[in-house]
Structure 1
Amino acid sequence: MKIIKFVLVSLLFIPVVTFAHEPVMVLPNAGLTPESPFYFIDTLGEALREFFTFNPGGKAHLQVDFAAERIAEIKIILETRGVQAKGLDVAQARLREHLGDAAEIIIRQKSKGKDVRELAKSMSEDFDVNKEALKQTFKEQQRSLEAKKEELKAKIREARHTGDTAQVETLLHELSEIKAQKELLDIKEEEQEEALEQEEEKIEREMDKKEDAEKAIKEAEEEKQEILIATGIVVMDGSGDDAMAQFAKFDQLLAQAKELFAKENYVGAKQLAKQAKDALEKIEEATDDLDEAKEKEEELKEEQEEQVRKGIEEEARRLEKELKEAKKATRKAEEKLRTTGNEKEDD
Structure 2
Amino acid sequence: MKKYLVAILTLILFFTSSTSVYAKHRQVLGIQDQNVNIPPTVEGPGIFLPDSPFFFLDELKQNIRMAFVFTPEDKAKIYTSIAGERMAELRFMIAKKNLPGIRTDMEGIADNFKKAADQVEFAKMSGKNVTALAKEVNDKIKEKQNVLDELHIQSQGELEGSTKSVSDSLSIAKTKVENSLNLADLENEINDDILRDAEMEIHETSEFAGELRNTLIDLQEEASRSAKESQKNRIEVLKKIIQEKDDQAKKEQERKIELEKIDNEKLWKMQTEAVDSAREMVEQAQKTSRKFEELKVKTFD
Return the TM-score normalized by structure 2: 0.55
Instruction: Give how far 1:292 is off.
Output: 1.3
The CA deviation at 1:300 is 5.0
Secondary structure, in 3 states, of the residue corresponding to 2:49? coil
The CA distance in 2 between the partners of 1:197 and 1:128, in whole Å, is: 9
Aligned to 2:87: 71
Match of residue 68 from structure 2: 52
2:50 aligns with 34
- Structure 2 match to 1:127: 141
Paired with 1:67 and 1:198, the residues of 2 have a C-alpha distance of: 15
Instruction: Write out per-residue CA displacement over residues 148-181 of structure 1, whole angstroms, 9 at most, x where no aligned residue.
Output: xxxxxxxxxxxxxxxxxxxxxxxxxxxxxxxxxx
Q: Could you tell me which residue of structure 2 aligns to residue 213 of structure 1?
A: 187
Aligned partners of 2:80 and 2:112 also within 8 Å: yes
CA contact (8 A) 1:64 1:126 kept: yes
C-alpha spacing 1:315/1:184, structure 2 compared with 1 (3 Å)? farther
In the alignment, the residues of structure 2 paired with residue 121 and residue 195 of structure 1 have an alpha-carbon distance, to the nearest angstrom, of: 18
Asked if 1 retains the 8 angstrom alpha-carbon contact of 2:120 and 2:134, the reply is: yes
Which residue of the other structure, out of 176, 185, 201, is the alignment partner of 2:159? Answer: 185
Q: How much does 1:312 deviate?
A: 7.4
Distance 2:73 2:231 in 1: 67
Q: CA deviation at 1:81?
A: 2.6
Cα offset for 1:285? 4.2
Give how far 1:52 is off: 3.1
What is the Cα deviation at residue 289 of structure 1?
Answer: 2.6
Q: CA deviation at 1:218?
A: 3.1
Confirm whether residue 97 of structure 1 aligns to residue 111 of structure 2. Answer: yes
Specify the SS of the correspondent of 1:207.
coil
- Do structure 1's residue 293 and structure 2's residue 212 form an aligned pair? yes
Equivalent-residue separation in structure 2 for 1:72 and 1:315 (angstroms):
60
Aligned 8 A contact 2:73 2:123 in 1: no
Could you tell me how far apart the structure 1 residues matched to 2:85 and 2:230 are? 56
CA contact (8 A) 1:99 1:196 kept: yes
Deviations 1:203-235 (A, max 9, x none): 1111112210122213434555x46xxxxxxxx
- The alpha-carbon deviation at position 297 of structure 1 amounts to 2.6
Q: Who is 2:229 aligned against?
A: 313
Q: From the superposition, tell whether residues 191 and 316 of structure 1 become closer, same or farther in structure 2 (CA, over 3 Å).
A: farther
Structure 2 unaligned spans of 5+: 1-39, 234-301
Q: Which residue of 2 aligns with 1:195?
A: 169
SS at match of 2:64: helix
What 5-or-longer segments of structure 1 have no aligned partner? 1-23, 143-181, 228-280, 318-347
Separation (CA, whole Å) in 2 of partners of 1:223 and 1:30: 31
CA pair 298-208 structure 1, distance change in 2 beyond 3 A: same
Distance 1:131 1:300 in 2: 37
Residues 76 and 209 (structure 1 numbering): CA distance in 2 closer, same or farther, change over 3 Å? same
Amino acid at match of 2:174: E
Task: Compare relative contact order (CA 8 Å, sep 6+) and give the higher one, 1 or 2.
Answer: 2
Counterpart-to-counterpart distance in 1, 2:47 and 2:169? 25
Q: Matched residues in 2 for 1:64 and 1:316: separation?
A: 68
Q: How far is the alpha carbon of 1:66 from its aligned partner?
A: 0.9
In structure 2, C-alpha distance between the alignment counterparts of 1:87 and 1:315, rounded to whole Å:
54
TM-score under structure 1 length normalisation: 0.48
CA RMSD in angstroms comes to 3.3
Task: Measure, in 2, the Cα distance between the counterparts of 1:102 and 1:56.
Answer: 9
Equivalent position SS for 1:26: coil
Gap change, CA 1:86 and 1:217, over 3 Å in 2? same
The number of residue pairs the alignment matches comes to 195
Aligned to 1:112: 126
